[in-house]
Amino acid sequence: MTLSIPANLTVSNSVPSSLDNGSQPPVSEAEMIQAVRTLLIGLGEDPDREGLVDTPKRMVKALKFLTQGYQQSVDELLNGAVFTEDVNEMVLVRDIDIFSSCEHHILPIIGRVHVAYIPNGKVIGLSKIARICEMYGRRLQVQERLTAQIADAIEGLLKPQGVAVVVEATHMCMVMRGVQKPGSWTVTSAMRGIFSEDARTRQEFMSLVRHNPQFH
């Protein structure tokens, strides 16, 4: 049986975007392309040379792709895939690849996400967990907020006994520039409900995340 999600369900997203009310951004694509041309000139390049002539257009297209999560909502991607199910054991989807962009430098954050929850009468389509990670990942982020938003979304949708999210990521702003520390990984977690209250449940989650699966 499919449960319908209340139309007024909103999932907390503590960072307001100019797109939150569903409106179009207040600059045209042509203005964005012009801005990239200006950047290229500022870098000492000639935006009219053959190799760069389409670069502003391509860069705007790429950035729009990398931030397409602004155009998406949890309700939309869920497509009603919340099901009534009488189970109360942990569900874990681990090793969800994530490509996000850091909001300070607009450089890639590359990593993986592990999401677990303990149901309370409702389960969610497994792919929707990955889609939720994808939606919040495809925005300008800090890793801590990305982690919390994923946990809050699952909690808001399912009202489960608990939710646990761990994000492990490497930040290109710490690798390619700045402090230049390739090999550094940042691990963030968000624990809700029973995962924050009960150390054994949290421990079970962490050991499942660490377990080496048989199949890759």
Ligand X SMILES: Nc1nc2c(ncn2[C@@H]2O[C@H](COP(=O)(O)OP(=O)(O)OP(=O)(O)O)[C@@H](O)[C@H]2O)c(=O)[nH]1
Binding residues for Zn(2+): 102, 105, 173
Residue 171 C-beta: closest distance to Zn ion, Å? 6
Q: Catalytic residue at 72?
A: no
Q: How far is CA 164 from CA 13, 20, 91, 160, in A?
A: 18, 26, 10, 11
Q: Is 22 exposed, middle or buried (0-12, 13-18, 19+ CB in 10 A)?
A: exposed
CB of 164 to Zn ion, least distance (A): 26
Query: Among all chains, which residue has been given the structure tokens 């050991």?
Result: 207
Residue with Cβ nearer ligand X (142 or 206): 142
Give the CA angle between residues 76, 81, 85 to the nearest 5°: 150
> Is residue 144 a contact residue for ligand X (CB under 6 A)?
yes
Ordered DSSP codes for 99-131: EEEETTT--EEEEEEEEEEE-SSEEE-HHHHHH
178 binds ligand X (CB under 6 A): yes
Assess 171 for contact with ligand X (CB under 6 A). Answer: yes
Could you say whether residue 180 binds ligand X (CB under 6 A)?
A: no
Residue 106 makes contact with ligand X by CB under 6 A: no
- Pick from 64, 105, 112, 122 the residue near Zn ion by CB under 5 A: 105
Across the beta sheet with 186-193, what order do the strands follow? 140-141, 91-102, 108-118, 162-171, 186-193
Q: Of the candidates 59, 66, 142, 206, which one interacts with ligand X according to CB under 6 A?
A: 142
Q: Alpha-carbon Rg of the chain, whole angstroms?
A: 20
**Which residues carry out catalysis?**
102-105, 143, 171, 173
Contact residues: ligand X, CB under 6 A: 102, 104, 142-144, 171, 173-174, 178-179
Which residues lie near Zn ion (CB under 5 A)? 102, 104-105, 173
